Amino acid sequence: MSEAVLRVSGLKKSFNKNNVELNILKGLDIDIYKADFITIMGPSGAGKSTFLHILGTLDTATEGEIFFRGMNVNGFTEDEASKFRNEKVGFVFQFYHLLQDFTVIENITIPLLIRGVGSIEAIAKAETFLEIMGLKDRRNHRPGELSGGEQQRVAIARALVNEPEIILADEPTGNLDRKTGKEVLNYILSINERISSTLILVTHDPEIGLLGKRRFNMVDGELFPLE
């Protein structure tokens, strides 16, 4: 098998609350490869979201290491971590986190502009992703004028417009009804296949969890592979 895109070793996360140590992650080890599709299931509070946030450098581990293509993510400066998130990672959350005062097309172009792409090229690429997501006629709408499913599709387009190597999806259908959730999931899988990213998806839904090429259950901060 090829070299791991992400290599996680001995990853731990703990908090001290009222002089009681809470162990959220308990020494996770996993190698994640190019074009992997990993699903992680488990109950609320098991550590799934914390794990994704640490993988994407939105949070830091208490112990352990994460290597991205051989580079120790723990050693990144703040600027390097920001660049990593912008260029290498696409986040899709349960809640859309769209900028309410910006139009759909403006929301999608933001990651490209942060990367330094010129405005004409950024708009053209955003238009392409808008069309892929079936939202061309919503171009100039603001998030408050969209349904939940439409907002999540905008959030997906924004997350993937930079064609990141890694997609971290945290309950992306959890805020949607089942029919809309299936449609949104299909968009994620379709674009992921198109750009050949590595997809790590956290879900409570066993039906979605079983779609992963590699499937895991997280219980009390530990990962268990599922056959």
pLDDT in tens, 50-87: 999 999 999 999 999 999 998 999 889 999 999 999 88
> What would the two tokens of residue 149 be?
């499913």
Domains (range + CATH), the chain: 6-226 (3.40.50.300)
Query: Token match 């959890």: residue?
Result: 174
Q: How far apart (Å, rounded) are the C-alpha atoms in residues 58 and 44? A: 19
pLDDT in tens, 187-219: 888 888 888 889 999 988 888 888 899 999 999
- At residue 216, what are phi and psi to the nearest 5 degrees? -135, 155
Rounded to two decimals, the pTM is: 0.88
Q: How far apart (Å, rounded) are the C-alpha atoms in residues 35 and 159? A: 17
SS3 content of the chain, % helix, strand, coil (to 5): 40, 30, 35
Query: Token match 């609350």: residue?
Result: 17
